[in-house]
Amino acid sequence: MVLLAPVLLAVAASLSAPARAAAPEPAPAPEMAAEAERTYLADCASCHGDEGRGTNRGPSIVDVGNASTYYYLSTGRMPIDQPEDKVTRRDPAYSPELIEALVEHVDRFGAGGPDLPHVALEAADVAVGGKLYRAQCASCHTTAGGGGALLREDAPPVYHAAPVETAAAIRAGPGTMPAFGEAALSEEELNDVVAYVDYLTQPNDRGGQPLWHLGPLIEGLAAWVLGLGSLVLLALWIGKPA
């Protein structure tokens, strides 16, 4: 019994000890955080304000969430030179390290928006993602992902977006796009959709000419025109007098 006492005490101590908290995300290095603050004040504050509360040149970015900030910076949609400039995809203005630090800097203004999701495509189901995409996304971005227009607002193509950028856009809902929270798309479904969008960049076109991936309507029209036209020409050739 004496020999068991230390073991019992150790077990009791481990049971009564508080659970160890999860390790926090590593913060940017102090020099990178300082560079992010300088960059924000130089490139962003003239429109969004020193503390992100907005000005007459740009909206507030308090509580937008780091998914939104990451999306706009990683896709080069921000910064822009003038408020009236069109917000379109460009090469990112900053390095990945500085973008990460800028996301952390803006997140300090308020953390009420959606967080940048963790993307894991190893177990994603592309077929399920295709069904979800066609139900939720194709009306604006088209079935093949080439983009379109809705209510005079452009829906950009989804090609060549990094998986984390697609996931950030889905959660944040940039521009006129609705935000899809976990009630609309679970984490598993989000990964499925991201995997399908990633597939659209280089689809496996089996069976012939993809016809610019314009969808089944164009494919059916081509079949009717080419097929019926060929039959008409064949009938005219057969019926031509010798």
Residue 30 DSSP SS3: helix
Map residue 233 onto helix, strand or coil: helix
Q: Helices marked H in 44-179 — which ranges?
A: 45-48, 66-74, 96-107, 126-136, 138-141, 163-172
Digit-by-digit pLDDT tens for the chain (242 residues) are: 444 444 444 444 444 444 434 444 566 688 999 999 999 999 999 999 999 999 999 999 999 999 999 999 999 999 999 989 989 999 999 999 999 999 999 999 987 899 999 999 999 999 999 999 999 999 899 888 888 766 556 788 998 899 999 999 999 999 889 999 999 999 999 999 999 999 988 766 666 665 555 556 556 666 667 777 777 777 777 876 66
CATH superfamily to which 117-204+211-216 belongs: Cytochrome c-like domain (1.10.760.10)
Same CATH fold assignment for domains 29-116 and 117-204+211-216 = yes
Can you give the pTM of this predicted structure?
Answer: 0.74
173: exposed, middle or buried (Cβ count in 10 Å: 0-12, 13-18, 19+)? middle
Q: Where are the domains of the chain?
A: 29-116, 117-204+211-216
Token readout for 157 is 């193509």
The DSSP bridge pattern shows strands 148-150 and 153-155 to be antiparallel
**61 CB burial (10 A radius; 0-12, 13-18, 19+):** buried
Assess if CATH 1.10.3720.10 describes domain 29-116. no
Q: Is 141 left (phi over 0), alpha (psi -120 to 50) or beta?
A: alpha
Does 79 sit behind a cis peptide bond, omega within 30 degrees of 0 on the bond before it? yes
